[in-house]
Structures are given as structure tokens and as C-alpha cells.
């Protein structure tokens, strides 16, 4: 009762932002069951979800094309094992897939080697 109305309004606004974050996490990264049964495993799984959410929010802010966050999560989930540049894909999906198909055709002819995780350091020794 002693706090001014402006302070209470700011507190409620921050609380609402936290509620929206948890709603987004629960909708897009369902944690219906945990992969481990000890406290550390559960904490690691929750932090992993929060990091994935952060990375997707950064990606969403950097691309020009407007995507629904849930659609982005679905696409990423379906293509976790595909090698594709997600930033290029979310900017222009049709062009990115066409480039990937052409590259695979080129590879099948034996024209190139394997994918490189560190393309900018081609030829470097580790």
C-alpha cells in the first residue's frame, strides 16, 4: 500500500513479460517429460530450452522476412539433421532449398569433398 502507482505498474509490466516468456517456452518447447531423473539433468534440459529460445529470438530479429515464432521452431525441429543455413533459409526458403538440391547433385557427381565445419579456415590444420 506504500508504493506509488507508477512503481506497481512497472512491476506488473515486468511480471507480464516473464509470463509471456514462460508461455512461449511451454508452447514451443514442451517439457512433458524429462530425459533425466536427477536435479542436474532437469536443470540442463531447462537451460537448453532457454538457450534454444534465445537463439531463435536472435535469428527472428535478424531476418527481414516475418515468420511466426512457432513456425520457425517447427521448421528447425523437422530439419535438425539437415545441413542448411537457417538464416538463408528463413530469408528465402525456396531459393535455399534449390541451392541445396543443386549442391547435392554436384556432390553426387564427385566434384567436391565433404562439408567443412570451418569453411572460412579451409586448409587449416587442427
Checking if the pLDDT of 120 tops 60, the result is no
The domain locations on the chain are: 1-62, 65-111
- Residue by residue, DSSP assigns 4-64 as -HHHHHHHHHHHHHHHHHHHHHHHHS--SS-S-SSHHHHHHHHHHHHHHHHHHHHHHHH-S
Q: What is the pLDDT of residues 41-86, one digit of tens each?
A: 889 988 999 999 999 999 999 888 888 888 888 888 887 777 778 8
pLDDT of 102 > 70? The answer is: yes
For the whole model, what pTM was predicted?
0.64
pLDDT at 122: 52
pLDDT at 104: 73
Question: Is residue 124 very low, low, confident or very high in pLDDT (cuts 50, 70, 90)?
Answer: very low
Does residue 125 surpass a pLDDT of 80?
no
| Nearest residue to 57 (alpha-carbon basis) of 72, 44, 36 | 72
Amino acid at each position: 500500500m506504500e508504493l506509488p502507482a507508477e512503481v506497481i505498474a512497472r512491476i506488473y509490466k515486468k511480471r507480464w513479460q516473464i509470463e509471456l516468456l514462460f508461455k512461449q517456452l511451454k508452447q514451443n518447447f514442451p517439457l512433458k517429460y524429462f530425459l533425466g531423473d536427477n536435479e542436474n539433468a532437469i536443470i540442463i534440459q531447462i537451460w537448453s530450452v532457454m538457450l534454444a529460445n534465445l537463439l531463435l529470438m536472435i535469428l527472428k530479429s535478424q531476418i527481414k522476412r516475418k515468420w511466426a515464432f512457432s513456425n520457425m521452431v517447427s521448421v528447425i525441429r523437422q530439419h535438425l539433421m539437415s545441413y542448411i543455413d537457417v538464416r538463408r533459409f528463413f530469408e528465402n526458403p525456396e531459393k535455399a532449398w534449390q541451392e541445396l538440391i543443386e549442391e547435392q547433385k554436384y556432390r553426387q557427381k564427385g566434384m567436391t569433398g565433404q562439408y567443412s565445419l570451418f569453411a572460412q579456415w579451409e586448409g587449416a590444420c587442427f
